[in-house]
Chains A and B, each alone.
Chain A
Amino acid sequence: MGEKITVATQWLESCAGCHMSFLDIDERIVELLKYVELSSSPITDMKHPPEEGVVVGILTGGIGNEDEIHEAKLMRERCKILIAMGDCAVTGGICTMRNFFDKEEVLRRGYIESESTVDGEIPVHEELTPLTDQVSGVGDVVPVDIYLPGCPPSADAIWFVLTELLEGRMPKLEGNVLKYGSDGG
């Protein structure tokens, strides 16, 4: 392997569990960094993929607001191979629970009617991004090259996908690296 492969990650409507699972590859990350350059991620100084682009883009989380659509499109424009990582990025995941209700009903329940709320109000501000009508997976907004489901995908599954790409193969998920939810392995 010659030049390092650049990788950027971004989290959208997610709990950060997928990024934690990424870090769960433990000391293998040292090995990985020999071949990979992590450019931007939510946990580095650089938050957005560089203009010159990266080879691999990783999105975790679903699409639930306008900003997340923007972030997904930005990543798609700036990466060659896009990975939708985790159940939320793949299908919308647990965030799709709100799809069974109207957007207004969800906001009212969350900000006004919840049991712990006193004198609540639905926040409105120009800097607050509007919610989409429904939560979807990343694939409903931009074309995805690799789907890696799991809640979260195991560190082994993430390692498998990245190392397959480093070997120049498109990963084919099956067996222990293809899991939905957290099924106990």
Chain B
Amino acid sequence: MSEVRLTINNQPVTGLSGQTILEAAQAAGVDIPVLCSHPALSAWGACRMCVVEVKGMRGLQTACTCPIADGMEVQTETTAAVDVRKFVLELLFSERNHYCMFCQMSGDCELQDAAYRYGLDHFTYPRPYQKLSVDASRKYFIMDHNRCILCTRCVRACSEIVANHTLDVRARGADSMIMADLDVPFGESSCVECGTCLQVCPTGALIDARSAYGGREKDVVHTETTCMQCSVGCALDVVTRYNRLLRVDGIWGSEPNDGLLCVDGRFAPLYEERKRVTSPLVRKDGKLVEAGWDEALSTVAARFKAGGVQGLTTCATTNEALEAFAGLFAKAKGEAGLLEPVAPVLGYGTTGKLADILDADFIVVAGAQPLDYQRVVGYFIQRAADHGATVAVIADTENSLTKRATMTVSYADADQVAKAAADAKKIVLVYSVGIKSRVIAAFRHLGDRLYTLALSPGRNERGATAAGLKHAEPNGAQTRFFLLGEQSEDQALTTKVDGAFTVVQASYLSPLVEGADVVLPTPVWYERTGHTTDYAGVVKPVAEVLPKPAAVRDDAEVLSALAAML
């Protein structure tokens, strides 16, 4: 890239070749209003809010699409440009329902801000009052077409960031409408409810069912933390007000997900309805009754001292807790293991990052279902497929990525994929516990062109492995200690309580908790403090977003206290 010298509003500005006027202006601190433009999306040039005058060019130019050139003289707030912006705003406000007084976005709306900026104090044109639909067929967010300005940010987010291609624009002109698939209700469409469209919508057209009317930007608190719903470790911006969870947003530019989240990270955890364990419980006369921490811990310590203990933990907790867990059982001379299986170490290739998927020309998915379990990874693979990368799925069972794959073969035919990859420049092998030795052998010879992404089912598997914990099954121990954390319902442990003295450290009530002898409450994801290790081995902070209930204690603290009693 070479330097380009131009002037914007008579100020000399140096940009890089390939930049647009908008990008050069933003870098120079010149504010040009936009509606359809978004930094995470391709330039569109639809709304005409960013029009500017360029000396020697006929008419006005859209700053978001016009590339800069040496010697260019740009004026951003001339009468002609401002008149067009006002005209565009008046047309937008007249077309659909843009009455702010009952809109949840009032105060945080980009359309409203633009109108304030240009002093619009009333509507000039008659309004058609067309009754457009409000689509609430999805669980987590609503599309109100009446508030839509057809900027197509949502359409571009769906195709460019998630590469799911659910959204598009129906018809032309005044009849244009955002639609899902072939114009079906959103809830019946191929929408994966990742919420990326919701995050980029400039108006009140996309409504988050939970946080709508819950607080404006000036009222809320933002806490950055790391998602622990799967092993990827996406960066989260958790939005709260008055100690209430409002919303989760992605953070543009963050590692590894660059603002993209999935339904499990953004929405599902905010709708948790299971009953919390809020106090230690100890079984007395056959019944679990509330107890103090001292009593509960001394009951457990007494059993530990008697020997014959096994500890089994999920990966759904912090590095600190997993280290304390390993330490506790080392001290108790018991066995400690992981409930979830761990993706094997291949012993070849470079440890890859999500970004490697985007510049690879060949992607192999073996024994893994990223679109179902590590969805953000799945979306990155879809993006790569859109850019022309070959995607090969090796699976003996159904795999959601098959429909986007260039080739799908069974394990027995893994060699075919290796052969097809022979000429590829950069190969990424995405795998999980389902990978077979035959597949592992097939790709060994690809050498340093191969990048590997191991996706273990455990949420913080890297942290658990670093703490020295390995997958284990329940053994014949007399006392068994389960650290379940906030294990989800569908992962619920089927282990029967089989006569062993059972201690369970968990956030929610479950059959295992109800059958336990001692229950210790643990925090949930937004109450934890510590660190987690992401899919690539990077240690990331987990921040306390909201305070824990009074009688809930941090996992690491409880495990250390228990160790001290031995």
Contacts and interface: CB of A to CB of B under 8 A. Distances in A.
Interface string A147-185: 111010000000000000000000011100011111111
A178 B116 contact: yes
B108 to A, nearest CB: 8
Contacts of A179: 116
Interface string B191-208: 000000000000000000
B123 interface: yes
A151 B112 CA distance: 14
Given A147-B121, A148-B121, A180 B100 contact: yes
B112 A180 contact: yes
B335 to A, nearest CB: 57
Contact of B122 (A90, A100, A181, A182): A90
Interface stretch (A25-33, A38-46, A91-99, A116-124): A91-99
Given A134-B129, A180-B115, A96 B121 contact: no
Interface string A79-99: 000001001001101101001
A64 interface: no
A94 B102 contact: yes
A139 B219 CA distance: 35
A49 interface: no
Contact of A96 (B99, B112, B216, B218): B99
Interface residues of B, number: 20
Given A100-B131, A151-B101, A184 B107 contact: yes
A156 to B, nearest CB: 15
Nearest to B128: A99
B103 interface: yes
Interface in B67-123: 99-103, 106-107, 112, 115-116, 119, 121-123
Given A93-B99, A100-B129, A181-B106, A137 B112 contact: no
Between B100, B102, B216, B218, the greatest number of chain A beta carbons within 10 A of the residue's beta carbon is seen for B100
Contact of A91 (B102, B116, B123): B123
Between A91, A137, A148, the greatest number of chain B beta carbons within 10 A of the residue's beta carbon is seen for A91
Interface string B130-153: 010000000000000000000000
Question: Number of contact residues on A: which range applies?
Answer: 20 to 34
B33 to A, nearest CB: 15
Contacts of A178: 116, 119, 121
Contacts of B101: 87, 93-94, 151, 180-182
A134 B129 CA distance: 10
Nearest to A84: B122
A137 B100 contact: no
Nearest to B123: A91
Contacts of B121: 90, 147-149, 173, 178
Between A134, A149, A174, A180, the greatest number of chain B beta carbons within 10 A of the residue's beta carbon is seen for A180
B100 A96 contact: no
A81 B23 CA distance: 45
Contacts of A87: 99-101
B122 A137 contact: yes
B378 to A, nearest CB: 38
Contacts of A181: 99-103, 106
B428 to A, nearest CB: 46
Given A90-B121, A172-B119, A173-B119, A184 B218 contact: yes
Interface string B408-423: 0000000000000000
A144 B101 CA distance: 21
A183 B106 contact: yes
A66 to B, nearest CB: 20
A172 B218 CA distance: 26
A141 to B, nearest CB: 13
B134 to A, nearest CB: 11
A184 B106 contact: yes
A91 B122 contact: yes
A105 to B, nearest CB: 11
A181 B99 CA distance: 7
Contacts of B106: 180-184
B107 A151 contact: no
Nearest to B98: A180
B129 to A, nearest CB: 4
Interface string B163-202: 0000000000000000000000000000000000000000
8 contacts: A90-B122, A91-B122, A99-B129, A100-B131, A148-B121, A172-B119, A180-B112, A184-B106
Given A144-B122, A172-B119, A184-B106, 18 more contacts: A84-B122, A87-B99, A90-B121, A91-B122, A91-B123, A93-B99, A99-B127, A99-B129, A151-B100, A173-B121, A174-B119, A178-B116, A178-B121, A179-B116, A181-B100, A183-B100, A183-B107, A184-B216
